[in-house]
Amino acid sequence: MVPGRRAAPVLVAMAVACGGGDAPATEATRETLPNGATLVRHGALPLAGARRLTPDLEVGVLEGEAPYIFGDVRGIEVREDGTILVLDHQAVEIRAFDQEGRYLSTIASRGDGPGELREANGMVLKGDTVLWVQDHGWWTMLGLDPEGGEVARHPMHVRSYGYFWSGTVDDRGVFWKDTSHSEDEPTHPPPLGLVEGSVRSYLKSWDPRTDVTDSIFLGEATYRTWISQAGAGWRYRSIPFDRGDAIAFAPDGGAWVTDGREYRVTRVNAAGDTTLVLESAVEPDAVTRADRAAYVRAAVEMDPDGRAAAEQVAALMPASKPVIASLGVDGHGRLWVKRAGAEDEDPAYDVFADDGEWLGNVLLGFAASPVHPIVVRGDALYAVTLDEMGVARVVRAPLPPL
């Protein structure tokens, strides 16, 4: 993931501003790295001119007609005509709504027949014609036409499960999924206290046209875990704020990757070559005494006997928090970098062109669920909100020019 030592830079100054023209300009420089990749350095990317997005559509109710009640949203996709597709993991259904939010049909539901689902938790729409659904109940990728008819079925090339499916299908029809493994030997019983290890991360691809599987090595990362006794078993605690690893797949293959600890994002192409490194002078927030105390309080609420372990974990927190919370790529191939911030702050996103040019930033002026990824299609952003009762709604917010 690290392209190597930097050569003497050739600097080209660029004044870049938000597409609307009223955001403060930021100066960026470009230089060529020894491997031929481009390093783009930006300033602090000020949020003073960021646009605040306001929803113009909300779909979902606490009580009412069944299609409008969502149990557990695991995927959103949008067709070119504005039709919104929502995958409800709990109901095992994919429902279609028109651009006014009116229910149209259920294009896939639970069952064992063609085009039916068992346990799906992710989907991606390609070419406005095939909806690829990850169904780990079948360990398959299921291809559906606009009416929900099955047009293809492939085995998952990476058998893994997460709350959301983190893979994709690129514009060539190649399937991608991130994966990792550790070569550390497990021990039983595990050692108590701080345990450090390493994980090797990869991007794994599979081309159904040639049946060729390939992988891209992203690097080796260290991790820290605090292990304490919990009755007859053990409790494993990660160290908060250690890392903010994130991946966003690009439509032409490859991905953007970051460990989130600093504002540095690397573009890896489908062949595994680093082609661009994006940096910004955005500074990390410090981990404060209040942050450590809040962690201990929350841990003790869940485990009243775990105060000593929680205090040990709090003491191991790094001095600063990650800068980046997540990455995403929209339907135009633009990179969306979500900044890490406090829970009471409006989520902030910086938007970049594929060549690293900063296009501006936006703030979400509504309480989007922090665990659900945003989806940007056409000229709108789609997100999930959860109210105080846990009721899920899918919202749409128009985008300013970028």
Residue 160: per-residue pLDDT: 85
The whole-angstrom separation of Cα 256 and Cα 59 is 31
Is 155 in contact with 140 (CB distance < 8 Å)?
yes
In order of 10, 197, 393, 402, the CA distances from 45 in angstroms are 22, 35, 31, 15
Tokens standing for residue 27: 């100066």
- Give the helix/strand (H/E) hosting 316: helix 307-316
Place of tokens 């079925």: 153
14-285+320-398 sits in which CATH class? mainly beta
pLDDT of residue 88: 97
The per-residue b/e assignment along 175-202, b for 16 or more CB within 10 angstroms, e otherwise, is bbbbbeeeeeeeeeeeeeeeeeeeeebb
> What residue segments make up the domains of the chain, in order of their start?
14-285+320-398
Q: Which residues of 59-84 are buried (b: 16+ CB within 10 A; e: fewer)?
A: bbeeeeeebbbbeebbbbbbbeeebb
The region that residue 333 occupies, defined by phi over 0 for left and psi between -120 and 50 for alpha, beta otherwise, is left
Instruction: Enumerate residues 6+ apart whose C-beta is below 8 A from 140.
Output: 153, 154, 155, 156
Full pLDDT tens readout for the chain, 402 residues = 333 322 322 333 333 333 344 444 568 999 999 999 999 999 999 998 899 999 999 999 999 999 999 999 999 999 999 999 999 999 999 999 999 999 999 999 999 999 999 999 999 999 999 999 999 999 999 999 999 999 999 999 999 888 999 999 999 999 999 999 998 888 889 999 999 999 999 999 999 999 999 999 999 999 999 999 988 899 999 999 998 899 999 999 999 999 999 999 999 999 999 999 999 999 999 999 999 999 999 999 999 999 999 999 999 999 999 999 999 999 899 999 999 987 778 999 999 999 999 999 999 999 999 999 999 999 999 999 999 888 999 999 999 988
| CB of 324 closer than 8 Å to CB of 244 | yes
* Number of separate helices (H) and strands (E) present in the chain: 2, 29
Distance of CA 108 to the CA centre of its chain: 25
- Per the DSSP assignment, residues forming a β-bridge with 168 are 176
- The predicted structure's pLDDT at residue 82: 96
pLDDT at residue 402, rounded to an integer: 86
- Hey, what are 10's tokens? 């050739």
How many residues in total does the chain contain? 402
| Structural tokens at position 186 | 């497990």
Report which DSSP code applies to 99.
Answer: T
Q: What is the DSSP string of 230-242?
A: ETTEEEEEE-TTS
pTM recorded for the entire structure? 0.90
Question: In terms of Cα–Cα distance, which of 144, 173, 152 is closest to 77?
Answer: 144
In sequence order, what are the beta bridge partners of 216? 203
